[in-house]
Structure 1
Amino acid sequence: MSITRRQTATALLTLPLALAATPALAHGGGGGGGGPRPRTVHIAGDSTAAPKPASAAPETGWGMALPFFLAPRLRVANHAVNGRSSKSFIEEGRLVALLADVRPGDLVLVQFGHNDQKTEDPARGTDPYTTYQEYLRQYVKGARARRARPVLVTSVERRRFAADGTALPSLGAYPAAMRALAAEEGVPLLDLQALSLARWQELGPDGTEPYFLWLAPGESPNHPEGAQDNTHFRPAGAVEVARMTARALLDEGVLPARDLRRLDAPVPAEWISWSGTA
């Protein structure tokens, strides 16, 4: 990252609280009589949460399904991007861009871990109890400087089973490190790793397959040779994880019941839509 970008990121992450109270930040858009901008749930994360282009369908990030579980008065700004870690998201200037749109009262959900595990890659890899926590603190500080509420979200589990059908954790020490940081910083924690691992155990190897990007050859024109992907989701899986996330927002007292909907109601896969561009 260049010195200029680092200086820019530092300046934005340390904005005084008074700046967040200016009219330009308290309302969305520029000029014009539209009234206050709706409260926004921002997502910083990786490919498990990210919006997908039409060329990737039926691959679906859980952030694409989260709006179905939030009241219409809330909007979702999904900044998650494939392949990013807590480190690379910041060093590419993506946290700066996210925070520029954050207003007082917004939520900032932070889910990283999958790519932080790639310690052989210096651009992405972090150590759970040192650099991972140090980068996560920057999200917490940045949200609080904008008078928004940071929410840490442990990474959703992969589809991995032992020979006896036991669902296996795959994220190493990163979930525990995030739990420890949340307790230290007094930040709400959505323990998606524990919730998803328990759910995959309930469903078993066969029951989880339709949730993940498992495709037979010829089933999808975007994946003509098929796929056996145990990390990324099909629409049903994204809906399931988004539902877990919404329930956790309620259970952890982050959102009241009036801000949520459909927690126990079906959400058809057909509701998912993909963008037309990569």
Structure 2
Amino acid sequence: MSSLHIENNRIALTTDNPAGQMISLVDRKTGHEILYQADEAWSGRNPSLFPMVGSTWKNGEYEWEGKTYAMKNHGLIRYEDLNGTISEDGQTITYTFDSNEETRSKYPFDFHFEMTYSLLEKGVRISYAITNTGNVTMPFSFGLHPAFKTVRQAQEKFEDFSIHFEPAAQAEQIVFQSDLSPVVREPKVLGTWNLSHEDIAKYATLIFDKIKAESATLYYKDQPRVKVSFPDFPLVALWNSGADNTFICIEPWFGHSDLEKVEVPFDQRENTMFLEPAETFNCFYDIETME
């Protein structure tokens, strides 16, 4: 274990490898853990998804310039040990990773990946800077997979929780099937979703595209608990591993897995982004306690 820890008067954050991910985010005022604590239901904790969200239709295989490559689910970074440092003032943690011979055997591009955790008054901001360090255009996708704790006490139920998106506005729900059927895009007002194992069983993952929402707040009944802010992300997904589990993943994405049969080069997958040599992609999201 190589965990790093920072805290202020309100928030205590612990991170660790692989992926330099958050393993604990505690509200020091209430003593409550905000993040789901990993087990066999979701051992991935809170990885960053790069350079691929999900997988290709061919179980991670894809074609690039006449060669076949393959990555595991959600790309490379979630499986790597990143170099982590704490700032002198003890308020930020920065992780970095550079492409190498092994990563190039799976993803033939050079990049520098940087992720910074900065403490806020009541939470943490997670910022990303991904730079193309090669000499060719780099196709990629990016997403997040934070998992949040819901039920704390015996009297609480998963179905007592809801997620409120702001601003509430029209979006498209991407509905996919397991029988090779084309995906269906259904118009949907993304406003309030009451947590439901029935919905999760029906859709596997609830995926919303073309969102206008910039935040999602997890409520217990009428009490807000955690706010996740994700400006500029075009998609958000909601996921839980099944009826025996009570965590909820609120996942801002810039792209998504192949949800129907597609056989195109990697750079032609839906929602693919591109970085020219020396260009940097930047984004961030915030997690804040609302108690």
TM-score scaled by structure 1?
0.32
Using CA pairs below 8 Å that are at least 6 residues apart, which structure has the higher relative contact order? 1
Structure with higher strand content: 2
